[in-house]
């Protein structure tokens, strides 16, 4: 039948055990307490566990050989087993006594033979006198244990009704006494072994006949100190002769200064770059900054209602104008007393020759027709509320007048943003940019880096169109401060320095034993835009000297003395030894390790009269 096994941890309390018992899935539950478990040595805890197992319909088994737990399990009728493979049973008094004896044997490290406790034999080489003493002690302990055994049995019979815990304490005390005796014998054995070793060492010293070996043994502290000093001296010599030596050589290189000037061109297409032909790719470097400034709105505007009214228009038609309509489109202007009104819709008038359609005759033979047109004032204001009057029509053929007053016009004057206000804000913004231009320029040049050459004459800045808030012609409320925003863009062109220096070296046409040591501050002059890109003149100066490298000089001086170094370097055309500094006074030559040679090249230039202007 399946069972659940619950292993009790040393720090588990009774509530933890009951919780694990209640959560077990199988009907049979085996509790495995740790050694020296305290939680199951309580009568109350055992009763609580028994009650919990009954409440949860679990069959409880305790896996232990602890006499205390066996005793409590027997009292509570709980089955016990020594291991998970043995059939459980409720322990009897004999089982408890047997486990007590077994525990004493294991703790006292003794063996049990025919019910008599005997300590294990010690395999050690001792003197005859000591062996006899040990045997006497063993016999005496044996006799004591035999004499005590009947007494204990008699006591057991007389005190059979005493608590089992008292028996366990007496046996535990007896086991403790045996442990103490065993520990004392062990210490005596160790002391005896130490004495024997001391005698042996003393005997070996006497047996040494070699005087040198004897001296070493007798003065071993001095020998160790001397060896340590020797090692330190060797290490110092290695440091002083191998690690410490270093040299710093300062060499002056005599050079000629030359001027360089060459017409070059530039392209914004990377694929079109050709440095051999003097065509360089232009990289645009730019930064953008948003600008904002506040301003005062000074414009005014009437945003009141517009007046409305009706105008009567009349058109005269001749007989030759029959069926030829005259149109007045929406938005046509009608004026009176300097005020303008616009028609709200299209009007078309015509005559089909029927005199019944005419209001009156026109020039005696024609026809006059009329129509009403609704109009709206061109602007708001009470000034457009006028009485009936005649109007100037958009065409000479049209006669216009009103037969009633115009109404609805009101005044409401507000502050607005004007184009002049925005232009003034632009001026303020431009001045602010000018004050901070150096700061913006530094930021722009920082983006270029050291690997590129900036073309200073290509620098420019551009301010975008301003956007005002509120917009032009819009009302500015009392709580709003008008502002204008724009973006200023700073741009400059740059070219690759490495490719530029390669072009200068190519055009310099140096002799085979010469090289360029320094190219000083190249710049582009006369940078102008062309149909194909840009052109300019590349100008700089450069210094040429003997074709030697730092590595060549280091290889020449490795391992040589100071005098040889001065001679060999001085024989190279264009080189002058200025100083040779060694790391320590005892160092008189350059080491063979290149890493320990420091070379300083100083360029000494003179103007070449044949240099290119």
| Domain range list for the chain | 3-91, 306-410
d(CA 104, CA 11): 26
pLDDT of residue 204: 61
Burial of 382 (0-12, 13-18, 19+ CB in 10 A): middle
Beta strands in 69-109 (DSSP E): 80-81
Instruction: Provide the pairing of β-strand 28-32 with 59-63.
Output: parallel
SS3 323: coil
Q: Residue 167 above 50 pLDDT?
A: no
Structure tokens at 241: 């002769």
Token pair 């366990």: residue: 168
Average pLDDT score over residue span 131-159: 43
d(CA 548, CA 574): 10
Q: Which residue has the higher pLDDT, 180 or 515?
A: 515
Q: What is the pLDDT of residues 9-57, one digit of tens each?
A: 888 888 888 888 888 888 888 888 887 777 788 888 888 888 888 888 8
d(CA 401, CA 386): 12
Q: Per residue in 433-468, is it b (16+ CB within 10 Å) or e — as a string?
A: beeeeeeebeebeeeeeeebbbbeebbebeeeebeb
CATH number belonging to the domain at 3-91, selected among 3.30.750, 1.10.600, 3.30.43, 3.40.50 = 3.30.750
Average pLDDT score over residue span 191-204: 77
- Binned at pLDDT 50, 70 and 90, residue 332 comes out as very high
Q: Do 363 and 316 contact (CB within 8 A), yes or no?
A: yes
CA 75 to the chain's CA centroid: 68
Token pair 């060797």: residue: 234
Q: Do 400 and 453 contact (CB within 8 A), yes or no?
A: no
Token pair 């320095």: residue: 497
Q: Among residues 98, 43, 89, 44, which one has the least CA distance to residue 66?
A: 98
Q: Per residue in 274-286, is it b (16+ CB within 10 Å) or e — as a string?
A: ebeebbbbbeebe
Q: Do 409 and 385 contact (CB within 8 A), yes or no?
A: yes
Q: What is the pLDDT of residues 97-132, one digit of tens each?
A: 666 555 544 444 433 333 333 344 444 444 444 444
d(CA 406, CA 387): 6
d(CA 505, CA 574): 20
Q: Chain-wide mean pLDDT for the chain?
A: 80
Q: Residue 565 above 90 pLDDT?
A: no
Backbone angles phi, psi at 208, to 5 degrees: -70, 115
Average pLDDT score over residue span 237-266: 83
Q: What is the pLDDT of residues 426-467, one digit of tens each?
A: 999 999 999 998 999 999 999 988 899 999 999 999 999 999
Q: Among residues 220, 182, 189, 184, which one has the least CA distance to residue 197?
A: 189
Q: Do 575 and 556 contact (CB within 8 A), yes or no?
A: no
Q: Among residues 283, 256, 258, 255, which one has the least CA distance to residue 269?
A: 283
Q: What is the pLDDT of residues 82-94, one digit of tens each?
A: 887 788 888 876 6
Structure tokens at 208: 């040494």
Render 362-424 in DSSP notation, one character per residue. Answer: ETTTEEEEEEEEEEEEEEESGGG---S-EEB-SSTTEEEE-SS--B-----EEEEB-HHHHHH
- The number of CA neighbours under 13 Å toward the Cβ of 138 is 14
Lowest model confidence (mean pLDDT) among 81-95, 132-146, 265-279, 518-532:
132-146
Q: Residue 183 above 80 pLDDT?
A: no
Direct distance between the N- and C-terminal alpha carbons of the chain, in angstroms, rounded to an integer: 110
Average pLDDT score over residue span 237-247: 73
pLDDT of residue 310: 95
Contacts 24+ apart (CB under 8 A), 558-562: 558/590, 558/591, 558/592, 558/594, 558/597, 559/589, 559/590, 559/591, 559/592, 560/589, 560/590, 561/588, 561/589, 561/590, 562/588, 562/589
Average pLDDT score over residue span 131-149: 43
Q: Residue 295 above 80 pLDDT?
A: yes
Structure tokens at 520: 């000083």
pLDDT of residue 306: 95
Q: What is the pLDDT of residues 518-561, one digit of tens each?
A: 888 899 999 998 888 899 999 999 888 888 888 888 888 888 88
Q: How much is the CA Rg of the chain, to the nearest whole Å?
A: 60
pLDDT of residue 360: 79
Nearest-10 crossing angle of helices 550-557, 562-570: 140
- Binned at pLDDT 50, 70 and 90, residue 235 comes out as confident
d(CA 475, CA 473): 7
pLDDT of residue 263: 93
Q: Residue 194 above 60 pLDDT?
A: yes
Instruction: Provide the pairing of β-strand 390-391 with 398-401.
Output: antiparallel
């Amino acid at each position: 039948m399946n069972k659940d096994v619950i292993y009790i941890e040393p720090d588990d309390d009774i509530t933890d055990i009951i919780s694990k018992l209640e959560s077990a899935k199988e009907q049979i539950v085996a509790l495995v307490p740790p050694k020296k478990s305290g939680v199951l040595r309580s009568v109350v805890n055992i009763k609580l566990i028994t009650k919990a197992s009954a409440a949860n319909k679990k069959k409880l088994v305790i896996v232990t050989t602890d006499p205390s737990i066996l005793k409590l399990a027997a009292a509570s009728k709980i089955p016990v087993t020594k291991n998970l493979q043995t059939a459980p049973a409720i322990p009897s008094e004999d089982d408890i006594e047997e486990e007590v004896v077994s525990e004493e044997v294991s703790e006292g490290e003794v063996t049990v033979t025919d019910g008599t406790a005997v300590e294990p034999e010690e395999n050690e080489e001792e003197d005859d006198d000591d062996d006899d003493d040990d045997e006497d002690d063993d016999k005496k302990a044996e006799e004591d244990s035999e004499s005590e055994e009947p007494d204990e049995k008699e006591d057991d019979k007389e005190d059979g009704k005493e608590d089992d815990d008292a028996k366990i304490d007496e046996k535990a005390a007896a086991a403790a006494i045996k442990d103490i005796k065993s520990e004392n014998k062990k210490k005596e054995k160790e002391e005896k072994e130490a004495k024997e070793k001391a005698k042996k060492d003393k005997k070996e010293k006497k047996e040494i006949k070699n005087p040198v070996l004897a001296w070493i043994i007798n003065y071993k502290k001095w020998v160790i100190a001397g060896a340590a000093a020797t090692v330190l001296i060797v290490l110092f010599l290695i440091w002083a002769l191998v690690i410490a030596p270093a040299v710093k050589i300062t060499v002056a290189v005599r050079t000629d200064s030359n001027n360089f000037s060459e017409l070059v061109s530039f392209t914004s297409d990377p694929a079109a770059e050709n440095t051999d032909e003097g065509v360089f790719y232009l990289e645009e470097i730019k930064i953008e900054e948003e600008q904002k400034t506040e301003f005062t709105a000074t414009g005014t505007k009437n945003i009141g209602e517009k007046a409305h009214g009706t105008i009567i228009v009349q058109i005269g038609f001749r007989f030759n104008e029959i069926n030829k309509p005259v149109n007045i489109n929406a938005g046509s202007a009608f004026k009176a007393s300097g005020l303008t009104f616009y028609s709200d819709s299209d009007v078309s008038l015509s005559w089909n020759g029927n005199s019944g359609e005419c209001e009156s005759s026109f020039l005696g033979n024609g026809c006059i027709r009329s129509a009403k047109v609704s109009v709206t004032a061109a602007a708001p204001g009470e000034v457009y509320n006028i009485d009936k009057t005649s109007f100037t029509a958009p065409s000479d053929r049209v006669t216009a007048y009103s037969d009633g007053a115009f109404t609805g016009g009101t005044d409401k004057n507000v502050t607005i943003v004007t184009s002049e206000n925005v232009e003034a804000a632009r001026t303020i913004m431009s001045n602010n940019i000018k004050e901070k231009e150096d700061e913006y320029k530094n930021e722009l040049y920082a983006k270029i880096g050291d690997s590129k050459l900036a073309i200073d004459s290509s620098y420019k800045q551009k301010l975008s169109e301003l956007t005002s808030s509120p917009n032009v012609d819009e009302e500015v409320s009392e709580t709003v401060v008008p502002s204008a925003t724009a973006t200023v863009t700073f741009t400059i062109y740059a070219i690759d320095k490495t490719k530029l220096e390669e072009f200068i070296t190519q055009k310099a046409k140096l002799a085979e034993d010469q090289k360029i040591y320094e190219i000083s501050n190249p710049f582009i002059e006369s940078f102008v835009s062309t149909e194909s890109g840009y052109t300019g003149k590349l100008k700089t100066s450069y210094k040429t000297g003997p074709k030697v490298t730092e590595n060549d000089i280091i290889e020449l001086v490795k391992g040589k003395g100071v005098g040889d170094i001065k001679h060999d370097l001085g024989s190279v055309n264009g080189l002058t030894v200025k100083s040779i500094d060694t790391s320590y006074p005892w160092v008189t030559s350059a080491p063979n390790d290149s890493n320990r040679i420091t070379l300083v090249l100083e360029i000494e230039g003179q103007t070449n009269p044949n240099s290119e202007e």
